[in-house]
Chains A and B, each alone.
Chain A
Amino acid sequence: MTDRDRIVIVGAGHNGLVCAATLARAGREVVVLEAAAQVGGAAATREFTKGFRVSGCSHLSYLLDASIASDLKLASHGLKWARSGLRTVALALAGDHLVINGGKLESGTLSEGDRTGLAAYHARMLRFARVVAKQHNRRPPRLGGGGRSNLMGAAMLGLDIRLLGRDDMREFLRIAGINIYDVLEEIFESPLLKGALALDAVLGANLGPRSNNSVLSLLHRLSGQAAGGAGPAIPEGGMGAISEAMAAAARAAGATIRISSPVKRILLDGDRVAGVELEGGEKIAAGTVVSNADPARTLLGLLGARNLETGFVHRIRHFRSKGMAAKLHVALDALPAFARLPSELAGERLVIAPDMVYLEHAFDAAKYGHCSPDPALEISIPSVHDRTLAPSGKHVLSAVVLYAPFDERASSDAARRELQERALGVLERHAPGLRRQIVASELLLPADLEREYRITGGHWHHGELALDQFMMLRPVPGAAQYAMPVGGLFLCGAGCHPGGGVMGCAGRNAANAVLATERAA
């Protein structure tokens, strides 16, 4: 093999690993270069205080593609599920919690209308999410020409929507671009139910319930379940275990993975990539470079704006990628007791979003650059299901905290302390006595996530999932088919179709794009 045949993958996030495994299985020489001392990127397990480990960024698996898991034999490479099909518990201060399993209310008080509405809503949203799910493993069509395969791609998308049937199609087209607030107001009465359902639509996004695109964001989240997944799941050993299994699959297929090897820049020979240079100065020649880093870091950082055309640079600079969610990690010396919640439910997915106005107010502060005074939380206590994460008898709590804008005003040490206090305060309100159980805690703001996981803006999807940054527009028009304008350079991360969530599809689609480009050459 020559240097031209070598493929370098920048970043061993889960998409980079899937891409590496796919290309290595196709017989390519693959070298993965990871800056951190472990693989996984934002799907990693982190020991934040001695003896307590937690999924550092993404903390529940919603979206892992089943065909990728089976193709890469992740189970035989060590991936075990501690628990799947988590229920959602909408916590109420008064103690009348709602326990929701898919479209079914398992306990709590709802009107008859809300109960039947919930079942119908859940079923319909899953049908809609299936349209999104069907696109996961397809290369998005190219807008404005580009031959028959692109026309076919666009036609397939149209067909998927048409196949919903007349009523569903009309409803899909009516709500796909609008906001979750209006949709839920049409159906439900219970503020607590609406708050919990709305949280699913805004989690991690730069959206409040009244923001358009929140329905699309929800459909993306549900698409894993729509494709046959069991709903939110917890891998044994934290989210890092998924990445470790993927890395093992890639190595087994022949890929080389080098950790602690940060790439400094992408090297060019004329208008084609020629390899990469590491921070230490080492140069690795390659005819193809696939970047798992986010679009801005890859194109404006590693490659450099001057090597790209101006209009393209302008679009990449304005790819919206400011994170909105913080991560709270708490080490506890005992299982916390949530008011009137049976302890066997403490390991479910607990949400604190008492109503949609609470969420909208939380978002209002963030819109203007400040952390929410009363944050909303998505809480998981994975140690209930996985005893490897905390010392015996002790527990670890992980929560997504909404909202924490990626903004200078909200990124200081004082802002971090303040949001941590507020989030712990909200927890304490719902689980009196929790504060006394705390062994250690940390809060990661989007600016911290940016630093820790090298994601521009600290956005866990690498960029907003909104209609204007979706499918053939992701990350930007003209670059939505994984190949970048510079010859031999590809993107394979969440900044590409089908976006964020630990899914693996972007990685595999990118690998297929690399192979298709080879064939066409």
Chain B
Amino acid sequence: MSIKDEMGRKEHFRKAVWETPFHPRIAALNTLNEWHRWKDYTTADAFFDEQLEYAAIRNACAVFDLTPMTKHLITGPDALAFLNRLVTRDVAKIKLGKVGYTIWCDDNGQVIDDGTIFHLREGVYRLCSQERQLDWLTRNAFGFDVTIDEETHDVAGLALQGPTSCAVLKAIGCAGVQNLKPFEIGFYPFSGTELTVSRTGFTGDLGYELWIDPTHALELWDALFDKGKIHGIRPMGTHALEVARIEAGFLAAQVDFHPADQAIMTDRSRSPFELDLGRLVDFGKPCFNGRRALLEEKKKGSRYRFVKLDVEGNKPARSAYIYDKDKNVVGTVTSAEWSPSAKRNIAYASLHMPWGRPGDELWAEIYYQRELKWYKVMARCHVVETPFWDPPRKRTTPAADF
């Protein structure tokens, strides 16, 4: 079922839950039959075994359907000026053929969402985000000569992540793809259409994201799994990706921060500095949303600090309170997993200032169950300043085959 009627009007409201163009293949491979809704699309939690799917990300390659990710195409003479007022970083520095990670704020300097800007062609940008943004983007467009097309359903997307991902792409005909640098975009002929490949991902590993016209989606899937068999390709669900995401150091909206436009209580949202994303704020730009408030925060100090924690023991500190040495609550864990690759018990936490300095004595209160009996441990936490997983192959260009 197309999302547009014959007049080109969006018909998304006619169906509560949509399937992505890859759904026939995904449904066939989803032996566990485990699904959840990601925005308005049905999405696989796991296909056969989430730990093996995770293992594929780190040791071979795994495919994730990211079509439901919100995508907007931004064009027009003011596209760059529009984006520069919207986001905190300087978009002029995202050169043609490059991708940049960014965040955007409201007037109070509180983060609405994070995402990536693809500089696809001269003056043509794609903004990918976790949350729906059409309302905010439309509001931002006042006073700019810019066109915003919601194209979530019009662009099929797959993430191909893992050490053998480059080899698979070469095998399906993306000649020279190994020369793409991190955050670079390439265009390749594929089955009579154009396949857009960006060396980006949510796993912190060597990996790519593939973008294609939905009518060619199944051909792409089939080609990947056909040529990729020898390279150990597997489908992966959101559970496996979640572990890789936290190892890699990426944030998730609704998990690690509450989008400011959805926050009712003023202390529920976070500024870029409070998410350890100050590097994405460029005060050299004379006007962007949140600039004044963020300058003020720079002067007065932030309320919170976002930290990566190495938690002692092996029990994931999910939703744990964090205490100081005097047993005062100083914050909470937002994401936590056992990291199979780092062999560490890892977590993100949002802490009240001034806690979270390297060397601070912090404790996580962790509850876990064994045969319906609850246990509690107080685990010592250590602030970590680098990603838990950061292999050289993520950056090495040309990318190796493995």
Using a CB–CB distance below 8 Å, which chain A residues touch chain B? 268, 270-271, 300, 304-314, 317, 478, 485
Contact = CB atoms under 8 A, between A and B. Distances in A.
A308 B136 CA distance: 15
Contacts of B81: 306
A306 B139 contact: no
29 contacts: A271-B291, A271-B292, A300-B143, A304-B143, A305-B143, A305-B144, A306-B78, A306-B81, A306-B82, A306-B85, A306-B143, A306-B287, A307-B286, A307-B287, A308-B287, A309-B107, A309-B289, A309-B291, A309-B292, A310-B86, A310-B107, A310-B139, A310-B140, A310-B289, A312-B107, A313-B143, A314-B139, A314-B142, A485-B292
B162 interface: no
B45 interface: no
Nearest to B85: A306
B287 A311 contact: no
Interface in B241-300: 286-292
A307 B288 CA distance: 8
A311 B289 contact: yes
Contacts of B144: 305-306
Contact of B287 (A271, A314, A478): A271
Contacts of B286: 268, 270-271, 307
Q: Which of A268, A271, A478 counts the most B-chain CB atoms under 10 A from its CB? A: A271
Interface string B94-121: 0000000000001110000000000000
Contacts of A313: 142-143
A270 B289 CA distance: 15
Given A306-B143, A313-B143, 7 more contacts: A306-B287, A309-B107, A309-B291, A310-B139, A311-B107, A313-B142, A485-B292
Contacts of B107: 309-312, 478
B278 to A, nearest CB: 19
Interface string B124-152: 00000000000010011011100000000
Nearest to A144: B266
A23 to B, nearest CB: 25
Nearest to B136: A310
A307 B289 CA distance: 10
Nearest to A313: B142
B135 to A, nearest CB: 11
B142 A305 contact: yes
Contacts of B288: 309
B269 to A, nearest CB: 13
Contacts of A306: 78, 81-82, 85, 143-144, 287
Interface of B: 78, 81-82, 85-86, 106-108, 136, 139-140, 142-144, 286-292
Contacts of A307: 286-287
A306 B289 CA distance: 10
A484 to B, nearest CB: 11
A270 B78 CA distance: 19
Nearest to A312: B107
Nearest to B143: A305
B287 A309 contact: yes
A309 B143 contact: no
Contacts of B136: 310
Contacts of A317: 142
A147 to B, nearest CB: 13
Q: Which of B86, B287, B290 counts the most A-chain CB atoms under 10 A from its CB? A: B287
Contacts of A305: 142-144
A311 B106 contact: yes
Nearest to B144: A306
A148 to B, nearest CB: 17
A270 B287 CA distance: 8
A271 B288 CA distance: 10
Nearest to A269: B286
A317 B138 CA distance: 14
A268 B285 CA distance: 13
Contacts of A270: 286
Nearest 5 A-B pairs (CB), nearest first? A305-B143, A311-B107, A309-B107, A270-B286, A271-B286
A307 B107 CA distance: 13
A316 to B, nearest CB: 10
B291 A310 contact: no
Contacts of A478: 107
A195 to B, nearest CB: 42
Contacts of B85: 306, 310
A340 to B, nearest CB: 56
Nearest to A270: B286
A268 B78 CA distance: 19
B257 to A, nearest CB: 18
Contacts of A309: 107, 287-292
A316 B85 CA distance: 17
Nearest to A305: B143
Nearest to A304: B143
Q: Which of B139, B142, B288, B291 counts the most A-chain CB atoms under 10 A from its CB? A: B142
A28 to B, nearest CB: 26
Contacts of B289: 309-311
Nearest to B288: A309
A300 B287 CA distance: 15
Nearest to B283: A271
Contacts of B86: 310
A270 B139 CA distance: 23
Contacts of A485: 292
A314 B144 CA distance: 14
Contacts of A304: 143
A270 B283 CA distance: 10
B162 to A, nearest CB: 39
Nearest to B284: A270
A401 to B, nearest CB: 33
A307 B136 CA distance: 17
Nearest to A315: B107
Contacts of A310: 85-86, 106-107, 136, 139-140, 289
A272 to B, nearest CB: 9
A305 B290 CA distance: 15
A478 B290 CA distance: 14
Contacts of B108: 311
A317 to B, nearest CB: 7
A309 B86 CA distance: 9
A271 B107 CA distance: 15
A300 B143 CA distance: 8
Q: Which of B106, B107, B289 counts the most A-chain CB atoms under 10 A from its CB? A: B107
A270 B140 CA distance: 20
A156 B302 CA distance: 32
A478 B292 CA distance: 12
A478 B81 CA distance: 25
Nearest to B293: A309
Nearest to A478: B107
B145 to A, nearest CB: 10
A269 to B, nearest CB: 9
Contacts of B140: 310
A80 B309 CA distance: 77
Nearest to A300: B143
Contacts of B142: 305, 313-314, 317
Q: Which of A300, A306, A314, A485 counts the most B-chain CB atoms under 10 A from its CB? A: A306
Contacts of A271: 286-287, 291-292
A304 B143 CA distance: 7
Contacts of B287: 271, 306-309
B396 to A, nearest CB: 40
Contacts of B78: 306
A183 B7 CA distance: 54
A477 to B, nearest CB: 11
B333 to A, nearest CB: 30
B127 to A, nearest CB: 15
A205 B106 CA distance: 33
A351 to B, nearest CB: 41
A212 B303 CA distance: 41
A100 to B, nearest CB: 47
